[in-house]
Structures are given as structure tokens and as C-alpha cells.
Structure 1
Amino acid sequence: MSALSLSDLEFPPSRQPTIPFSEALRQRGFGWRSAEQGDVDFMRRLYETLRADEMALIAWPENTRASFLDSQFVLQHRHFTTHFEHAEFLVLEHAGTSIGRLYLLRAPPRWLIVDIGLLPTWQNHGLGGALIQQLQQEARNARAQGLSLHVRLDNPRAHALYLRLGFQNEGVDGMHLLMHWDVPAAT
């Protein structure tokens, strides 16, 4: 397998998002669109912010750190686009500026939130929770069994959010906790 550079990365063919965006969030200037090749640089910057706490613990020269993050991002991107090629790769925007990503595979029985991430300035404002709640409503509407996801064991804030939103712990897989949420049974 040959090494890829950031400029070689691509997303699966673009298509319109199948999940409508919340009207309440749209009125506040938020939206999403399908990711395209031109979004790779933003996704790489986002990836770096999501690993900032971990990288702060390692005393590497800047060029070594950057090279490591590039290689890890390339591997993650290739994994996501190869193993979840039918997922929706969405860029979350505010007033036309990229602020996060959502990768969603709508496959039975539970939809898989492959990845969700926001730039740090957009975290802890309720946006992630609002997006997950919207996905929960869309799963209900589509008569899916529910949602599943994985969260890093060293991410207690995200874990607490998912628990508040009704997700249940399912087990551990490496460095990740597997979680799921099922559509409540009709009463």
C-alpha cells in the first residue's frame, strides 16, 4: 500500500444530505453540506484540534508533530471512506464557514454515527447535543431501530453527553466505548 498525501485524499461522490437540517438551527445560521475534496484541509485542521489534548502531552518538534498528525489523519480518512463508503460525509457550517463534521451511515438496524466533531470554539454550546437529538428524531421518522456510535475512553465530556441523550454503554473496543440508543417503543 503506497503512502498518500493530503492532496491525494478524496471523499466518495458528493450527494445531497438525506438528513434535513433543523429549522431552529438553520435560523441561527447553521447548515450542512456534503464534503468535497476541497474540504480535506479543513478536515485535517479539525482533526488536529480534536487531538490537541493528547498531543500536548508529547514533547515533539513541530515538524514531527505535524507529520505524525498528517499520517494519522490520512489513515483515519482512508479507513472512514473505505469501510463506510456509503456514509454521508457532511461538513457542518455556520454562516458559510466550516465548523465541524458529521459522518453518518444510515444502514439498518441502527444508523451509525461514524464520526462527529466540532472546532473547539463551537463545543460546549449545545450544538452537538442538538445535532444528536435531530438524528434521533430522523431515526424515529425513518423507523430505524436507533443509533450507534463509539466514543474514546478518554473523552468523558462526550460520554456524559451521550448518556444524557439516552445512549447506553454496550462494551469496550480498544480505546473506544461502544454505545447505542434505541427508538423508544410506542406506548
Structure 2
Amino acid sequence: MAPTLRPIDAADHAFLRSVYATTRAEEIAMAGWDAGTADAFVGMQFDAQHSFYRKRYPAGQFDVVLDGATPLGRLYVSREAQRIHVIDIALLPAYRNRGTGGALLAGLMREAEQRGAAVTIHVELNNPAMSLYERLGFREISSAGFHRLMEWRATTLTHKEHTA
């Protein structure tokens, strides 16, 4: 089944926080904190990130990713004149490496191609999804600190991808 999207609402807060926590789990485990400290840290960081995203992208589309009625993750997107910017994409660990993220990105890529726009995403250097972005044809266009700005354009497809 292809993933679907629905706008987030206040009732999704705990779910969205749990998705965020999975993206920080390895880092938190290395810190060696007790459960209460780790939970407080995740809560503070999630709230700060969510608030930043809402302020930075007031017209953004903030969605829960679904398989039927089952929430799998989140997809936050900002549609601008010349680009579709993936603010954030994150799936629960049980739903990673199953094609869901690729399907979501492919949909955005089709939309961008129809509009003559690019798809962009900021990616941490050690993000395990980096290989997915590269496989889909995203290319680094800039880097700062621990992040790369990756971009996909229909014109960046290789000859092999055009003929496939």
C-alpha cells in the first residue's frame, strides 16, 4: 500500500515526539543519561524543533505519514516558487528501509518535475538515509557544519535513469 498523508493536529503531539525520539536514540544512548533525563531532553529538543519549523515555514505542510490508519512517521514540506523543500522526513524504525521514504520522495520529485522546480533537503552528514537520497539522484549543493543541503532536479538524472 502506498503511504498517505494527513495534516498533523494537537492529538498527534505524543506520536510526533516519539518519532523524533527515534531519530535521536543513538545519540541519547551514548550520553548515558537515566530515562528521566533522556525524556526531558527529547521533549525540550522536540518542542524547540517543532516551534522553529512552524516559525521558519509558516506556510509549510506538516503531515503524519500513514499506512491505512497506522501512523508511520512525519513529512514536513515547504512549497516555494522554485523548490519543494523537505523540512523533515522521519519514519519509525519498524517502517524504515521498506520503500516508504523513497515513495514519499518520488511523489515530491514528480511534483517538482511537473512544476520545473527542485526538491531540496538538509541532511546531517551521518544520516543513514544519505544513501537513499544519493540513489534517488540528490546531489550536495552546499554544506555547513554537520549538514549538507542536497538537491534533486529532473535535469540531474543520469543518462541511465533517463532511459530506464
Structures share a fold, TM > 0.5?
Answer: yes
| Counterpart secondary structure, 1:108 | coil
After TM superposition, the structure 1 stretch with the greater mean CA deviation from structure 2, 168-177 or 86-95, is: 168-177
Whether 1:170 and 2:141 are equivalent positions in the alignment is yes
2:84 partner SS? strand
Q: Map of 1:145-164 to 2, 5 A cutoff? A: 145-155=117-127, 157-164=128-135
Q: Hey, what does 2:70 align to over in structure 1?
A: 97
The match for 1:179 is 150
Runs of 4+ in 1 over 6 A off after TM superposition: none
Aligned-residue identity in percent: 36
> Is the 2:83–2:120 Cα contact (8 Å) retained in structure 1?
yes
CA distance, structure 2, for counterparts of residue 88 and residue 159 of structure 1: 23
TM-score scaled by length of structure 2: 0.90
Q: 1:50 aligned to 2:16? A: no
Instruction: Output one character per residue of 1:42-79: Cα deviation in whole Å (capped at 9) or x when no partner.
Output: 10010001111111111111111111111000100000
CA contact (8 A) 1:108 1:144 kept: no
Aligned residue among 88, 102, 108 for 1:129? 102
State the number of aligned residues. 157
Structure 2 residue identity aligned to 1:53: E
Q: What do you get for the CA RMSD once the two structures are aligned?
A: 1.5
Q: Does 1:87 align with 2:47?
A: no
Q: Which has the higher helix share?
A: 2
Match of 2:90 among 117, 122, 147: 117
Which residue type is aligned with residue 117 of structure 1?
A
What is the Cα deviation at residue 117 of structure 1? 0.5
**AA aligned opposite 2:153:** D
- Stretches of structure 2 that go unaligned for 5 or more consecutive residues are 157-161
CA apart distance, 1:135: 0.7
Structure 1 gaps, min length 5: 1-23
TM-score (normalizing by structure 1): 0.80
- Inter-partner Cα distance in structure 2 for 1:175 and 1:75: 19
Q: Which residue is equivalent to 1:8?
A: none
